[in-house]
Structure 1
Amino acid sequence: MTTFRSAFTTAHASGSSSRWRAPAGFVLAAAVLFGLAPAVLSEFRLNLLAKFLCYAIVAVGIGLAWGRGGMLTLGQGVFFGLGAYLMAMHLKLADAELRDGPGSVPVFLQIAGFDAVPGWWAPLASPVVTLLAILVLPAAIAVLLGLVIFKRRVKGAYFAILSQALAAAFAILLIGQQSVGGSNGLSSFHSFFGFALNDPVNMRMLFFIAAGTLLAVVLLAWQLTRSRYGELLVAVRDQEERVRFLGYDPANIKVVAYAFAAAFAGIAGALFVPVVGIISPADVGILPSIAFLIGVAIGGRETLLGPVIGAVAVAWAQTTLSEQFPSMWTYAQGVLFIAVVGFLPGGLASIVALLKRRRAAVAKPQVRHATKPEEATA
């Protein structure tokens, strides 16, 4: 009876602690982003952190699709680029309107030989239409692609290769389109929904917008993973055929996760443009898509905050090492990735759990030794 009561108390305490662990982590992250970071970082470093938070938003979606759903998404640059180019086109139209009046043609289009704004650009002059397009278009394209891919039961390495091919095709398409800047992309933005981007106060505001968006995305992902849908998504990852035998369509479950990941990437791309000040095909092709994935793998794809930590840590390390050793970052990134995959498959987020297991393994023999019958009779 004593043993049962002790076990029940331990389980209850463990459940209570895990119940409060996620909210406590959320509050700590909010305190760091909104209190500590603005207080200790310079304007330049704070702007860099805002850029890294955009990467972290993409990573949350990859963690949901890959970590929980088992979909190795190597083409998130497509959705990141869609959101980024939608925002960039709106900002270019807004700058032209402020400079020359409504209906003005941006300077780079004039240089490219355009006498008028392309028809498919025109709706993006509206901030409301732009925001709706950023939220809806990447997710809608992901739904269409997902239905075609997952209904045909394409998965594993085949899905990864296909998603990577889509990223390559998208980058090549952008290079050939002078209406979106071609290989140079779009840059030199002066305002963001009426706020001047050369004002340090407004750049700080962008950091807070990026931080708030990241926290909102993490909260949404947390709710999804705790829901009935989150359980189904993990079940599809582990035993897809059994889920199908239970009457669920695994393709529909995968499509939802894929759409959320695409929507998160589109939002991140839209924030990336005013923060960094440029978007080009080099930011949305194969290499950026793989870089997103590396951050998630290093941080821990099966956890909620692991992808965030990994994305920010890898991006920060890249910037720091590139400043000191410009030619060494690629090698350091490769060594770090190999080390994590070889010795920490769960990523950096699994270090705490690994230490707990080792501590329990060390303590367990001691408990058994103390309860030997001969010692008890002695």
Structure 2
Amino acid sequence: MSARLRGYAIFAAVALLVLVVAPAVLPPFRLDELAKYLCFAIAALGIGLAWGQGGMLTLGQGVFFGLGGYAMAMYLKLHDAGGDLPDFMTWSGVEKLPALWKPFADPAFAIAMVVVLPVAIATLLGLLVFRQRVRGAYFAILTQALAAAFTILLVGRQGLTGGTNGLTNFYDFFGRDPEADGTQRLTYFVTAGVLGVLYLAARQLVKSRFGRLLVAVRDGEDRVRFLGYNPATVKTVAFAVSAGMAGIAGALFVPVVGIISPSLLGVVPSLELVVAVAVGGRYALAGAVLGAVVMNYAKTSFSEQWAGGWLYLEGALFILVMTLAPKGAVGLYEQARDALARRRRTPEPAAPAPQQETQEVPA
């Protein structure tokens, strides 16, 4: 079987597992947990595109995740308020709806902003940074600082963003009860479907001419520049696409979990996404998705029993993977597969021919 057919077969098997088997065997609570993991997988897919394919270590993906989440949450809060002020604004002493909130009463505008806001900010940041040839650790630190500043901004504007508590208590999701089992199953299928579509789109992008150029920029940016291409444009486009994916993930996260708050968007959540991508395999898009699902499941399971030590375990795992297995779990699988294929192709050495015994002739 060719590599292309094998890839489609694996994708079909995973789709069957996610769309048919999981909803049939998992209770509503566990299915909702899996939907949350799939939201993180969408954000991790963007990191896999930017970091794994483009070499841009982004430690602030939580910013774009939060922009998409808050855009969706603002619409839901205004819809629940029915023309009045959202409940948290009333508690905070706000007497008039801020101008920033008014356009989000339109669902079409809010859904558009889920993608437009992250893409616009990522594009602006990319044009400013990549043209100055900022890369490597400097770019990573810059995105991390952006995540920290964004969190401080959200916490400090209680009347505008809900402060530390964020936005929660949603009672209507496009005419459906968010807490109903039917709605939770619907959001699960929507999340899984969006992840599948974005994965196929990202895979097609990687295999395109732009994808090959992006990998060339990762491996030798100066050489690409000498060939007449502009690496800043290539990196900006990839960075903006990854930001748009994070925005979509944040928007889906709101109805799945029922909350969006600064604690979900800061430096630590952004680092956890990077760790998940590294563990799964940053050079493969499937590895980024796999790492996000497995790591978040492990976080849920282990943190319940070892709440104070999970972050240490996660940090140690990241260090071990980056030093001993830079290509992650997918890289280890590929190495084992290639070794097995070489072993099958190598013929076994022929057994030596038996030597005939010479009989002595008596004198």
TM-score, length of structure 2 as denominator length: 0.93
Identity of aligned residues (%): 52
Partner of residue 173 from structure 1, selected from 149, 153, 164:
153
What is the aligned length? Answer: 353
How far apart, CA to CA, are the structure 1 residues paired with 2:193 and 2:343? 42
Find the partner of 2:144 among 139, 164, 185. Answer: 164
Name the counterpart of 2:328: 347
On the 8 A contact 1:321/1:328 being kept in 2, the answer is no
The answer to whether residue 300 in structure 2 is matched with residue 300 in structure 1 is no
Partner of 1:218: 199
SS state of the match for residue 73, structure 1?
coil
Instruction: Provide the aligned C-alpha RMSD in A.
Output: 1.8
Correspondence 1:148 to 2:133: no
Q: Using the alignment, how far apart are the partners of 1:141 and 1:335 within structure 2?
A: 33
Equivalent residues in 2 for 1:1-378 (5 A)?
17-97=2-82, 103-178=83-158, 179-359=160-340, 367=347, 369-370=349-350
Higher helix share: 1
What are the Cα deviations for residues 49-86 of structure 1, in whole angstroms up to 9, with x where unaligned?
00010100000000000000000001101100100111
Q: Distance in 2 between matches of 1:260 and 1:354?
A: 30
Radius of gyration: which is bigger? 2
1:359 shift after superposition: 3.4
Note the C-alpha offset of 1:331: 3.2
Tell me which amino acid in the other structure corresponds to 2:224.
Answer: V
Match of 2:359 in 1: none
Structure 1 partner of 2:361: none
- Deviation string, structure 1 residues 265-286 (Cα, Å, up to 9, x no partner): 0000011111111111111110
- Return the offset for 1:356: 2.8
After superposition, the C-alpha distances for 1:89-132 in whole angstroms (9 at most, x for unaligned) are: 111001111xxxxx211111011111121111011011100011
In 2, Cα distance between equivalents of 1:247 and 1:89: 44
Structure 2: runs of 5 or more not aligned:
357-363
Partners of 1:86 and 1:237 in 2: how far apart? Answer: 32
Aligned-partner SS, 2:285: coil
Q: Structure 1's 327 and 113: CA in aligned 2 closer, same or farther, altered over 3 A?
A: same
Distance change (3 Å), C-alpha of 1:367 and 1:22: closer
3-state SS of the aligned residue for 2:46? helix
| Structure 2 Cα separation of the partners of residues 363 and 138 of structure 1 | 49
* Deviation larger for 349-358 or 293-302: 349-358
- Return the offset for 1:328: 3.5
How far apart, CA to CA, are the structure 2 residues paired with 1:128 and 1:109? 23
